[in-house]
Amino acid sequence: MEVNNKGVFEIIPAIDLIDGKCVRLTQGDYSQKTIYNENPIEVAKEFEAAGFSRLHLVDLDGAKAGAVKNWKVLEGIASQTNLIIDFGGGIKTKEDVDIVFASGAKFATVGSIAVKDKATFVSWLTSYGADKFLLGADVKEEMIAIGGWLETTHINIYDFIEDYLQLGVQQIFCTDVSKDGKLEGPATDLYKKILEKTPDLHLIASGGVAIIDDVYQLKEVGCKGVIIGKAIYENRISLKDLASFN
């Protein structure tokens, strides 16, 4: 399935969930939590009304527990909007994947399992189709980081991407963990290097976006989209400015 037309750059707003509420963490730290809205369905409707077609939905309870938890919120958003939702956090088993798709997600977002248990993830790619997954790569100094970013592996980002592209994965979003939630600008140089090595990659930027110029830069280097959370919730970037990319 073609995710978007060549040349199209997508703004993908993010909703992170804890206890069914819309929150944000700083650098993945659960103790640095800000609650932005008690009703994520309302937030999703606002994004749709502003002209966005996609939503990045993250189950932080699920990520912590190692099993999908906030699928009811996913179900609510999917049934009350037409947003194309990718949902991740705690997807560890085939049952989790089934719940995510049954609850209305278009894509299942996976990260650490693709690093820790490649055989299982590859079996999902075969069962469901590689185009049903959005692969997340958390990076620290060009190496893959897992386990809530506490553990850095010996796998470099370039090999990781190349490996999964060969297996049919179409979309990858990449987060430089030193940037996430800090509103200090995205990892534009890293994305540039990734795209030099894999120019056909459908690369989605994630983390660090603070001002509208950051978004223009990411488009300029060849990213196909950007996931934005904190900058929207803290009114650093207006939905109106972002809607101009649609």
In this predicted model, what pLDDT tens digit does every residue of 108-142 receive, in sequence order? 999 989 999 999 999 999 999 999 999 999 999 99
Contact between residue 33 and residue 23 where contact means Cβ atoms under 8 Å apart:
yes
In this structure, of 53-57, 181-185, 198-202, 229-233, the range with the lowest mean pLDDT score is: 181-185
* pLDDT, average across residues 233-240: 94
**Span 80-101, average pLDDT:** 97
Domains (ranges, CATH) in the chain? 10-243 (3.20.20.70)
- Check residue 109 and give its pLDDT: 97
Give Cβ neighbours of residue 213 (< 8 Å, ≥ 6 apart). none
Sign of the C-alpha dihedral, residues 209, 28, 21, 79? positive
Segment 188-216 mean pLDDT:
95
Instruction: Tell me the pTM.
Output: 0.93
Q: For residue 16, what are the β-bridge partners? A: 23, 58
Residue 54's Cβ-count burial label (10 Å; 0-12, 13-18, 19+) is: buried
Q: CA–CA separation, 32 vs 183, rounded Å?
A: 14
pLDDT score recorded for residue 7: 59
* Whole-number pLDDT of residue 33: 85
pLDDT at 177: 85
Per-residue pLDDT band at 246 (split at 50, 70, 90) = confident
pLDDT of 1 above 50: no
CB 77 within 8 A of CB 85: yes
User: Which residues are known to be catalytic?
Assistant: 16, 138
For residues 230 and 223, which has the higher predicted lDDT (pLDDT)? 223
HSE of 59, CA atoms in CB hemisphere, 13 A: 30
Residues 6+ apart with CB under 8 A from 133: 107, 108, 109, 110, 124, 125, 169, 171
pLDDT digits (tens, 9 = 90+) for 24-70: 877 678 888 889 999 999 999 999 999 999 999 999 999 989 999 99
The two structure tokens encoding residue 210:
């603070």
Percent of the chain, pLDDT > 90? 80
Encoded tokens for 47: 């994004």
pLDDT classification of 178: cutoffs 50, 70, 90 = confident
